[in-house]
Structure 1
Amino acid sequence: MSGLGQVIRKITTDDYDAVAALLASAFGRQDEADLVRRLWAEHATKFERVSEISGVIVGYCAFSPVTSKPDLDGLLLGLGPLAVAPEHQNQGIGSELVHTGLKICRDNNARLIAVLGDPKYYARFGFEPASKRKMTWAGFDAGDAFRVITRDDDDLDVEDIRVIHYHPAFDSVS
């Protein structure tokens, strides 16, 4: 629990409607809510956490499996979506969700965690430009917005560029 009276916990199926509403509100459109519903339907999330204050869900963070070509062994994850209710943004809720999620990923020996998002925001968590690790996102050239964290002891150097693929459910999000 943070100083905000926030509790971060595992999601339950009873939370699905509230999370979908939160996603639609936070992003101002339905696409991310539809994405997460597809991920749930396909059991394609590995770790999910919600943040609640006084019993109301105000934040959500998901990690789902990603793949790479050439192949990488081990647990490879993509962070997203991350959302905080508009009236609760800029209070540290998203940061707490990311920190909690990254700890869970590390505790489960994730080899790679990828994210597509604001480079300045995600740099504070240790995400570096994927291009530094000769990686790119299969969706399009996202530049420094496509970022990764790898294990400290991991040598991922390859001659060819490694292409990271998110779950197919992400393909329909614009």
Structure 2
Amino acid sequence: MKPTAPDPADTDAWNAYLAEGNAKQARKRVAADVLLRDPYGRVLLVNPTYKPGWDLPGGMAEANEPPEDTARRELMEELGVRLTLLGLLVVDWVAPHGPWDDQLAFIFDGGTLDQDQADRLRPRDDELSEAAFVTAAEAAGRLRDRTRRRFEHALKALDAKHPLYLRDGAPLM
């Protein structure tokens, strides 16, 4: 039988209980990407220098960083874009693959840039070699399978106006 949690009123005992759980329980890797469009409805893709293929703009969360903050930080660091996210499109539980443990991957709606913003968009650090607005069909052709499935469901969630939960790129509900 597992020990009973201490009374939360006993602050020291409660904090010790939480610390023990924190030390023993699994931690998840978190990725946060953004679906960002131009006035023509094309979507933004970026070409990372540290891995093959194109990707959605975004990146990996830092310790204790909320996913939406990750998405905004990565857009600012890599592309110099500051924006307000319009909502969640997808959460995808990604099974362990290769040397990586499982992770949670988020896609947020970044809305539509005006033409001037879209025209000025350029990579601002050495993590990206290119950034391009492409049609959804072109994007599907450039993205790796796992990301492509997530991207396609993000487009469906955008049209349906409600987020989707995926398990390895496939909806459960």
Q: Which has the higher contact order (CA 8 A, sep 6+)?
A: 2
Greater Rg, structure 1 or structure 2? 2
Provide the TM-score with structure 2 as the length reference: 0.25
Question: How high is the TM-score relative to the length of structure 1?
Answer: 0.25
